[in-house]
Structures are given as structure tokens and as C-alpha cells.
């Protein structure tokens, strides 16, 4: 079975060939995606943002342990503007369980990371619109069953889907590669 973070990271590595990229890991959690990208693309400038201060602190610790110069900030993507917001690339593994779609985890960190308590799909798309430079692209991971929701959320946005990558190992996830007009 493919890990969601590894699948997202591999889609980015396989499809972004530029040597200098200003990238944002939106909803970075413990920093795993930022760190994997920084290890494989040392010339990229990678920043991570997350709503949870304790996860931002953990991400910064993990980056120091791996000796990668990645910056992490506490930031609520629903509250623009973000300083320096003009990214070539955004990667995101956002919360994907709808509020009314099951039991919310009793653990605060897990609930915020998995359930759309403080960040909906529309919030992610809106953030991509104001954080990406024109022509910039985003790779956003969702479960395959949210594909239709994602396509509908893109309507009337400045984002166009370039490709959808489906995880062939588990058939659980897909990564949407979108570009800003």
C-alpha cells in the first residue's frame, strides 16, 4: 500500500523538472512532504504552513534533524495575505473528511488534520488562487471518492486541472495537478 505523503511527493518529483522553485507545503503537518522534497530537490526554496503550532514546531525539528533548510510557519490559509505569497508550486494533503461524514477523531491534532473542521476543500482552492503566481501549479491529494467534489469546487475558479494521478497500488488516493490561469 502506498503512503499518501509518498504518493504526493512522487507525483511532484516526477512532474516538476525546474531546478529553482519557490514551493509551499500547505497544511504541512509534521513536515514529511516538505522534507522529502527538500532532500530530492535541494535547490528548491520550500516553506510549510500549518494551523497547529505544535505541528509547525515538530516540522521544524524534523527538518533540522534531516539537515534541510526548510522554513515552517503557523498560518491559517483562510486568512490572507500570507507574507511572500507568490509561489511557483503548492503541494497539499489537506483534511478530506467532510464534517457530516462520520465520527470526528477525539484527538484534536488528528481531527484537524483529517476532518474539514477548520479547512474545507473550497478553502484549499481559494488559498491556491491567492498563493500561486499566474502559471503556477498545485498538486493536491484527496481520496478518489472526492474527485467529483474537487471538480465541482474548481468551477468558477482561476484553476484548471492539468492531470489527475491515481494511486495504482491502493486505488485509494488521487493527486490533482492544477494550474493557475
Would the pLDDT of 1 be above 50? no
- So where are the chain's domains? 4-12+19-176
Mean pLDDT for the stretch of residues 143-168 = 95
Which of the pair, 25 or 109, is modelled with greater confidence? 25
Contact 28, 92 (CB under 8 A): no
pLDDT in tens, 72-102: 999 999 988 887 679 999 999 998 777 776 7
Q: CB neighbours of 116 closer than 8 A, spacing ≥ 6?
A: 95, 96, 97, 98, 99
Mean pLDDT for the stretch of residues 48-57 = 96
Among candidate residues 66, 125, 63, 65, the one with its CA nearest the CA of residue 94:
125
Q: Which three cell numbers stand for residue 33?
A: 512532504
Q: At what angle do helices 147-154 and 121-131 cross, to 10 degrees?
A: 50
pLDDT in tens, 101-147: 677 777 777 766 676 778 999 999 999 999 999 999 999 999 999 99
Laid out side by side, the sheet with 87-92 consists of 71-74, 45-50, 22-26, 87-92, 132-143, 173-180, 159-166
Mean pLDDT for the stretch of residues 39-58 = 96
pLDDT at position 113, please?
Answer: 67
Q: At what angle do helices 4-15 and 32-40 cross, to 10 degrees?
A: 30
Q: In the chain, where do the E strands start and end? A: 22-26, 45-50, 71-74, 87-92, 132-143, 159-166, 173-180
Would the pLDDT of 70 be above 90? yes
pLDDT at position 27, please?
Answer: 95
Classify domain 4-12+19-176 by CATH architecture: 3-Layer(aba) Sandwich (3.40)
What pTM did the predictor assign?
Answer: 0.93
Mean pLDDT for the stretch of residues 4-9 = 95
Amino acid at each position: 500500500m502506498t503512503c499518501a505523503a509518498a504518493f504526493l511527493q512522487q507525483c511532484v518529483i516526477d512532474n516538476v523538472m525546474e531546478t529553482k522553485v519557490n514551493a509551499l507545503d500547505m497544511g504541512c503537518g509534521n513536515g514529511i512532504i516538505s522534507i522529502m522534497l527538500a532532500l530530492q530537490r535541494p535547490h528548491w526554496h520550500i516553506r510549510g504552513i500549518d494551523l497547529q503550532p505544535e505541528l509547525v514546531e515538530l516540522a521544524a525539528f524534523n527538518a533540522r534533524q534531516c539537515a534541510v533548510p526548510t522554513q515552517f510557519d503557523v498560518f491559517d490559509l483562510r486568512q490572507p495575505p500570507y507574507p511572500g505569497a507568490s509561489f511557483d508550486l503548492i503541494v497539499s494533503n489537506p483534511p478530506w473528511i467532510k464534517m457530516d461524514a462520520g465520527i470526528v477523531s477525539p484527538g484534536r491534532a488528528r481531527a484537524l488534520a483529517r476532518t474539514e473542521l477548520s479547512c474545507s476543500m473550497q478553502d484549499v482552492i481559494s488559498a491556491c488562487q491567492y498563493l500561486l503566481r499566474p502559471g503556477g501549479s498545485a498538486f493536491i491529494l484527496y481520496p478518489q471518492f472526492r474527485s467529483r467534489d474537487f471538480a465541482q469546487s474548481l468551477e468558477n475558479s482561476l484553476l484548471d486541472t492539468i492531470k489527475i494521478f491515481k494511486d495504482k497500488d491502493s486505488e485509494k488516493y488521487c493527486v490533482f495537478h492544477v494550474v493557475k490561469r
